[in-house]
Structure formats: C-alpha cells, structure tokens
Amino acid sequence: MDVIHVRAVSPPELTERVEEFLAGDPYVLNLIVSRGAARSPDGDSVACDVLAGAANEVLRGLRDLRVDVDGSLVIQPVDMAFPGRASEAASRRLGALTGAPVWEQVEARIRSGGRYAPSFYLYLVVAGLIGSVGIVTNSQILIVGAMVVGPEYGAIVSVALGIDRRDGGMAHRGLNALFKGFLLTITVTFLFSLLIRGFGFESRAFKQGLRPVSDLINTPNFFSFAVAALAGVVGIVSLTEARTSALLGVFISVTTIPAAAAISVSTAFSSWSEAWGSLIQLLVNIAVLITVGALALRSQRAIWRHVGRKQEARSG
C-alpha cells in the first residue's frame, strides 16, 4: 500500500480548520494534532498519513488553507506501512486512483534535477570527454558510459516542467544551463580532440575512415526523432512513478552527449559535414525531449483527472 506522511505546522488560529479538513477525509489516517508543540515556526504540530492515490486532493486542500504559507508543510514517502482495516477499506474505495502519482513529489524530483551547481557542468564535460574517446576508438561501451554520466536530462525535464507550468524563470534557467553546459563541453572536448589528433592517439580504423560509432551519431534521421520522442515519454512516466531503472534506459537511448562529443571530434579532424550532422542531431534531440516532456506531463495530469472523476462518479 502506497502511503505518504504529511507533517505540518499550523498557526493556532488555523488549526481547527486544518484538523476538521483532515479528519473529514476518508483517505487520511493516523491523524495526530499537538497543540503548541511546534517551534520555528511556532504553532501546532499536525501529522498524518495519506493514501498516495488521494494525496493530491489532500495537499491541494492544505495549500488552499495556506498551511504552506502561514506555517510549514513537509511531505515524506513511506517505505513500508502495515495496513489496518481502516486503510484497507479506504484503499478499496480509491479503486484505480491507488496508482495515481503525487504531483508534489514528482515536481520536487524534477526540480532537484534542475539545480545547476558547478558539478552539473563538470559531469557534462567529463561525459563529453568520455564520448570523444569512444568515438575515436570506435567503442560503443564508452559511448554508453558517456550517456550515463551526462546530467543533461535533469535540465531538459526542468524546461519541460517550466513550459507545462508556464514558469518562464524555470524554463529560462534550464535552457541557459543547457546552452552554457554544452558550449563548455564542446569547447573542452574540441581541445582534447586536437590533442588526440596531434599525438596520433586515434585508432587505426578511425584514421582510415572506418567510423561506425560516429556515423550513427552524425546522421540524424526519422529514427533519431522517434527514439527521442519515445524516450521523452518514458522519461516522464519513470519520473512520475519513481522508476530509476526505466530512467536509466532513457539516459542511454538519446544521443545528446555523444552528439556534442561528435561535434568536437569532427571539427578537430576537419570533418565538417559530420560536425554539421552532429549539431543537428543534438538540437533535434533536445527540442524533441523538451516538447514531448511538456506534452507528457500535461497529458498525464489530464488522464489522472479523468480517472479521478470516473472514480468519484462510481463511488458517489
């Protein structure tokens, strides 16, 4: 049974309304109210467990009461819960809504990936360097490794959430981080590729023009678009359901980091058509991931709202 734990600090003048709201919801369990127990901010401590499928409505109600503004509101996932009779009955009433995502948690996960500390740019550069070695040595394993190291998907999904929420600041910060990050990555990787060319470190096959790995990266086509679109859908679904294994699959299926590395390597080796193809590949993948991500977020919300209305009609 999926449950979240909610902790709130309520101003004394608001506590009665909060308690009444929570006590009247059949999907709220284990409600505890401690008057005057909270400090910083001062107020009444309120704690409860909520069935995850009903959490969106409960959290919306608490925010309508301005608990998150005048007091504080904390949400915690519960790893294990032993259901009693009351929670089992409430879970049966939820029906299909049992599997509904908690959107506050989903957006918190996306926002955590949209923090652009210096390590974000470091990971991008290191991923680009690994990708360049994979290209000049025709090593698909290194290309996959570069995809896993790259942190760019967090920024891409943050832009998608900014578009979905009409939050221009979030979208702008994500696009700015992507632009600066990839520009830095391409520059550093280009200098590294010049070093490889100068010392003749590239593989013999690469030197002779046999470049199966780079050829896959610098030739954008219908399949590039299709894979990016499918990966965008799976990425959003995996974030809403907290499935890290599926999200890892997204990292290693879209050629953003390899395309950036291919731009640098192709430019360093004066392969201008390949560099142009890699640039198009990079831009297409980022644009498709952002667009599909925003559409997938909006579609999932609409689908779960529809499920909620049908469930209400059945139980009403």
What is the residue-wise DSSP string for 23-88?
HT-TTEEEEEEEEEEETTTTEEEEEEEEEGGGHHHHHHHHHHTTHHHHSEEEEEE-S-----HHHH
**What pLDDT does residue 82 have?**
76
- Rounded to the nearest 10 degrees, the angle between the axes of helix 168-199 and helix 152-164 is 160
pLDDT tens digits along 281-307: 999 999 999 999 999 999 998 888 888
**What pLDDT does residue 19 have?**
95
What gap in Å lies between CA 202 and CA 78, rounded to an integer? Answer: 51
Three-class DSSP category at 219: coil
Q: What share of the chain is helix, strand, coil (3-state, %, to 5)?
A: 70, 10, 20
User: Which residue numbers in the chain have pLDDT < 50?
Assistant: none
Residues contacting residue 75 through CB under 8 Å, at least 6 positions apart: 4, 5, 6, 55, 59, 102, 104, 105, 108
Contact 26, 48 (CB under 8 A): no
**What pLDDT does residue 316 have?**
58
In the 8-state DSSP scheme, what is residue 165? T
Burial of 225 (0-12, 13-18, 19+ CB in 10 A): middle
Give the Å distances, CA to CA, from 132 to 7, 48, 197, 258, 264: 48, 52, 12, 8, 8
**What pLDDT does residue 86 have?**
61
**What pLDDT does residue 58 have?**
92
Contact 308, 100 (CB under 8 A): yes
Nearest to 49 by CA among 5, 100, 101: 5
Tokens at 210, concatenated: 């046999």
**What pLDDT does residue 160 have?**
94
- Rounded to the nearest 10 degrees, the angle between the axes of helix 103-113 and helix 55-64 is 80
**What pLDDT does residue 214 have?**
82
Does the pTM of the predicted model rise above 0.75?
Answer: yes
**What pLDDT does residue 77 have?**
84
**What pLDDT does residue 285 have?**
93
**What pLDDT does residue 252 have?**
67
**What pLDDT does residue 85 have?**
64
Give the number of other CB atoms < 10 A from CB of residue 4.
Answer: 21
